[in-house]
Amino acid sequence: FKIHTKCRSLTYDSEAQRSQISDDKVPWDVDYPDYKPVEYTTSKILRNPKADSPDPSKITKYNQIDNKIDRRSFTGLYAIDPLTNRPLNPIGRTGMTGRGRLYHWGPNHAGDPVVTRWKRDGNGLVICRRRDEFDRLKPVLEFVAIQRRDNKQWALPGGMVDPGENVSETVKREFQEEALREGIDEAYIKRLFSNGHKLFESYVDDPRNTDNAWMESIAMHFHDETGQLTAKIDLNAGDDAEKAVWCTVDRTLELYACHKDFLKAAVDRLDAFW
């Protein structure tokens, strides 16, 4: 596992700051008696009936499926602090305790759709590029990116898995909510989402993570080989997205959380330009 970085960025939101953690102090097995994390859970989460109880000992099914909420982690079994009854972030310290802006103690599951098509010129021919003279020409991909309203960063149009929802449903629903115009013929959308390929399932280095609550996600790839399907599907930003665009895939892109790793997996799968 790579140690997390984005969830150690000092500013959390307009109300909270994390305490600073150096790389070597991230692992829990490194002694750090002076560790003074900031305790923070937003009032919005504390008031939200869909969020977990503020009292973590009310949750009796950590590491299990708890009614309709999946509290299992892709990283394996996570530890529960015996003193506080709070789950411990499997990657290590973040400089913040509590849940921050997240609903659940422990893992918070999301789904991320990576929707791609080939980049074409005016004549409809696929554009190819090479990184340098030693590289072979490779076709260039485009993917659907959204700009997040919360922090203005570019991201995949993903979102939280609803209680009891299957992630294949989540990625389609979130894509529609965040990136599609309303009123598009459902048949096109169904076809696009009919053959998804699971790229990744992992812990996500999300800036909202804390020592006791963190994001995990399944990234699903949907590729429109001919481009005919996506030509029928107009993008339009909605919900927590400010913009929705077809973006040319390039290794210099900066994306939210670990979405660049998800995108790279789609690029490798199709042997596309990076």
Neighbours of 105 (CB within 10 A): 27
Q: Which does 110 bind (CB under 5 to 8 A by kind): Mg ion, ligand RP5, none?
A: ligand RP5
Q: Do 183 and 245 contact (CB within 8 A), yes or no?
A: no
Question: Greatest CA separation found in the chain?
Answer: 66
User: 162-181 mask for Mg ion (x: CB under 5 A)?
Assistant: ------------x-------
Residues 168-207 that bind ligand RP5 (CB under 6 A): 204, 206
| Stretch of residues binding ligand RP5 (CB under 6 A), selected from 71-79, 117-125, 126-134, 154-162 | 154-162
User: 237-266 mask for ligand RP5 (x: CB under 6 A)?
Assistant: ---x----------------x---------
Closer to Mg ion by Cβ: residue 104 or 119: 104
Please give the Cα distance from 200 to 198 (Å, whole number): 6
Give the three-class secondary structure for 8. Answer: helix
Closer to ligand RP5 by Cβ: residue 126 or 265: 265
DSSP category for residue 141:
E
Report, in Å, the least distance between residue 205 CB and ligand RP5.
8
In the complex, which residue's CB is closest to ligand RP5? 158
Q: Would you call 207 exposed, middle or buried from its count of C-beta atoms within 10 A (0-12, 13-18, 19+)?
A: buried
Helix (H) or strand (E) holding 58: none
Report, in Å, the least distance between residue 250 CB and ligand RP5.
20
